Amino acid sequence: MLINNLNPVAFEIFFIKIHWYSLAYIFGIICGWIYIKKILIKNNIHKIYIDDLITYLIIGIIVGGRLGYVLIYNLKFYLKNPSEIIMIWQGGMSFHGGLIGIIIATVIFCKKNNLEKYIFFDFIAVAAPIGIFFGRIANFINSELVGKPTDLIWGVIFPLVDNIPRHPSQLYEAIFEGIFLFIIMNKIYFSKNYKEGSCSFAFLIFYGIFRLFSEIFREPDEQIGYIFGSLSMGMLLSILMIFIGILLLRRK
């Protein structure tokens, strides 16, 4: 069994602590932006616009991700402690909230500049697994979103949680939602049959499937538990993603 004694703080500058969680967002956004600009975009005009879009995306990710977590996962706590809503360095970001934030930010940007939104949705969908990968690694370092108890040889003990060997569900998600999803998205984007918008819809479907699978091994959020039977909030939202993705793909 492995023991996770990793320090959530990467380093300190004077009295300021820099967390791996914050660095994951920074590296994910920078690497995703570089990949879009250097690999995915072939139109020089789009390269200019992606530089401007990145600001919108950062705001969408942070605001959407945080509000999604506050409203969906822990509303009672933040109603009692509203000042902690802005403390994102302590963790507590919702992927699904961040996704909605990105969609809204991209729609606003494209309408403002009279651009076709699905072109940029596809760029984001292909590069997003890079950021997701970094985010899940940060979850592992933070000893958060832990898995269910297991007796498998790769079980991990998280001393900050308890002394029970658990599934490293964060790493499962890093592999499936990060590496595998990245490969699939790029296969679709660079295929001969690629159609505008197909990556966006496929992202919803495949991320939903991978997240649904990973949630089987993950403990439900303590403050919520299971919604119906063994159905967690993450599972419910992932099923909704799959349904919406299939619906949009059929209508396109």
Residue in 47, 23, 24, 26 with CA at minimum distance from that of residue 36: 47
Question: Helix, strand or coil for residue 2?
Answer: strand
What's the pLDDT band for 16 if we cut at 50, 70, 90? confident
Which residues sit opposite 17 in a β-bridge? 12
d(CA 208, CA 110): 26
Predicted pLDDT at 18: 86
Entry pTM? 0.92
Pick from 29-33, 78-82, 120-124, 148-152: least confident: 78-82
Helical packing angle, 198-215 and 117-141, nearest 10°: 20
The structure tokens 């993450």 sit at 234
- Residues 6+ positions from 231 with CB-CB distance below 8 Å: none
CA 185 to CA 46: how far, in whole Å?
19
Tracing tokens 């992927």 back to the chain, one arrives at: 95
State how many domains the chain has. Answer: 1
Cα distances (Å, whole numbers) of residue 49 to 28, 61, 68, 106, 242: 19, 18, 27, 11, 30
Degrees (nearest 5) of the Cα angle 45, 60, 53? 10
Beta bridge partners of 226: 232
| Domain encompassing residue 239 | 2-251
Q: What confidence score (pLDDT) does residue 44 get?
A: 78
Q: Looking at the predicted structure, is the pLDDT value of residue 91 above 80? A: no
Predicted local distance difference test score (pLDDT) of residue 15: 79
Mean pLDDT of the chain: 92
